[in-house]
């Protein structure tokens, strides 16, 4: 009798595991439950860097992905094929220059056409950097940076928010920066826009409170992206040192850990914000900065 009970329990346990582990990714991160199954995630600036990693992690957890960004068309196709095959989700690409309002509007229309039910997750990540002293800062760069970093997130949220309210569930996650909390010289537009994004995040959170929608911002420090690597190479060249020494000198004033953040670490934080565990987190500003904000 005891043996029979053990067998039944064991068999039942195996059944549960078979059902909950019906999908396992082929990478080093097996997914037990695809928590975002059938959700639609629009990730701007997702053809490289943080955005691509966020898209990958969300796809790994079952979300259908809408990519956006600039890249070689063949590489974009490769990304789509890779994510589709590996995670068995739908992956579509919608181009558009988010510094231009007309392109933002076109992107919204294309999303509506592709996904009549609308998006469930909006990740505002697209952006770029320009470094210049205020007196020399090109006005067109100021306009472009504010457009892509602040106006585009506002316009996209404005477009999709009504449908999210109808669904009673949604996630708006703004990839801000430690420059939303701290300033650096020669980055007037970037710092101004990122500070603005944090304000926008809090307003969205208050206006959607109690609707099942949350809006939060992630503020990474220096992340290991192509932009960071170029900065590191430039510092090594300027100071005549190797890359490891340049890294230490580069990070010492800002990251007490002396370690750079990985795109995957940022993406995993975004994934957490999409989870049920974060249902009561809204209007939050989450830092991932190697101790920068502790100074």
| pLDDT 10s digits, 42-63 | 999 999 999 999 999 999 999 9
Confidence of residue 28 (pLDDT cuts 50, 70, 90): very low
> Is the pLDDT assigned to residue 234 strictly greater than 50?
yes
C-beta of residue 120 within 8 angstroms of C-beta of residue 171: yes
CA–CA gap between residue 48 and residue 54 (Å, rounded): 10
CA distances from 284 to 64, 90, 150, 214 (A): 25, 30, 17, 9
Confidence of residue 274 (pLDDT cuts 50, 70, 90): very high
Q: Give me the pLDDT at residue 23, please.
A: 36
CA–CA gap between residue 239 and residue 218 (Å, rounded): 32
Length of the chain: 295
Overall average pLDDT of the 7-31 stretch: 35
CA distances from 249 to 182, 231, 232, 285, 294 (A): 19, 12, 10, 28, 19
Q: Give me the pLDDT at residue 67, please.
A: 99
Angle between the N-to-C axes of helices 49-60 and 263-273, in degrees from 0 to 180, rounded to the nearest 10: 50
3-state SS class at 4: helix
Domain ranges of the chain: 37-223+262-289, 225-260
Q: What does the mean pLDDT of the chain come to?
A: 91
Confidence of residue 204 (pLDDT cuts 50, 70, 90): very high
The CATH architecture one would assign to domain 37-223+262-289 is 3-Layer(aba) Sandwich (3.40)
> Is the pLDDT assigned to residue 10 strictly greater than 50?
no
Percentage of the chain modeled with pLDDT above 90: 86
Handedness of CA 180, 183, 184, 185 (dihedral sign): positive
> Is the pLDDT assigned to residue 146 strictly greater than 90?
yes
Handedness of CA 22, 25, 26, 28 (dihedral sign): negative
CA–CA gap between residue 81 and residue 92 (Å, rounded): 10
> Is the pLDDT assigned to residue 3 strictly greater than 60?
no
Q: Which residues are the active-site residues? A: 190
Q: Cα 134 from chain centroid?
A: 29
H or E element that contains 285: strand 285-288
Q: Give me the pLDDT at residue 88, please.
A: 97
Q: Give me the pLDDT at residue 12, please.
A: 38
Q: Give me the pLDDT at residue 33, please.
A: 58
Q: Give me the pLDDT at residue 34, please.
A: 83
> Is the pLDDT assigned to residue 118 strictly greater than 90?
yes
User: How many other C-beta atoms lie within 10 A of the C-beta of residue 79?
Assistant: 22
């Amino acid at each position: 009798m005891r043996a029979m009970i053990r067998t039944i329990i064991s068999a039942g346990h195996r059944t549960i595991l078979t059902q909950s582990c019906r999908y396992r990714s082929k990478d080093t991160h097996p997914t037990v439950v695809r928590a975002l199954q059938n959700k639609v995630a629009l990730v701007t600036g997702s053809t490289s860097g943080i955005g691509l990693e966020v898209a990958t992690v969300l796809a790994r957890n079952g979300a259908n992905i809408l990519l956006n960004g600039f890249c070689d068309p063949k590489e974009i196709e490769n990304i789509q094929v890779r994510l589709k095959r590996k995670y068995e989700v739908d992956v579509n690409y919608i181009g558009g220059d988010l510094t231009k309002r007309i392109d933002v509007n076109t992107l919204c229309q294309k999303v509506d056409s592709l996904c009549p039910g609308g998006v469930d997750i909006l990740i505002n990540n697209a952006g770029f950097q320009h470094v210049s002293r205020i007196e020399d800062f090109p006005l067109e760069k100021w306009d472009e940076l504010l457009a892509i970093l602040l106006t585009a997130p506002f316009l996209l949220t404005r477009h999709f928010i009504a449908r999210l309210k109808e669904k009673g569930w949604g996630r708006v996650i703004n990839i801000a920066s430690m420059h939303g909390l701290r300033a650096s010289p020669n980055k007037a537009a970037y710092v101004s826009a990122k500070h603005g994004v944090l304000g926008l995040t809090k307003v969205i959170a208050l206006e959607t409170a109690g609707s099942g929608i949350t809006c939060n911002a992630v503020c990474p420090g220096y992340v290991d992206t192509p932009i960071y690597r170029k900065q590191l190479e430039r510092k090594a060249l300027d100071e005549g040192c190797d890359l490891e020494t340049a890294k230490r000198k580069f990070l010492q004033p800002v990251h007490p850990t002396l370690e750079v953040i990985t795109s995957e670490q940022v993406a995993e934080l975004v994934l957490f914000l999409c989870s049920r565990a974060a249902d009561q987190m809204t209007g939050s500003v989450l830092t991932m900065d190697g101790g920068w904000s502790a100074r």
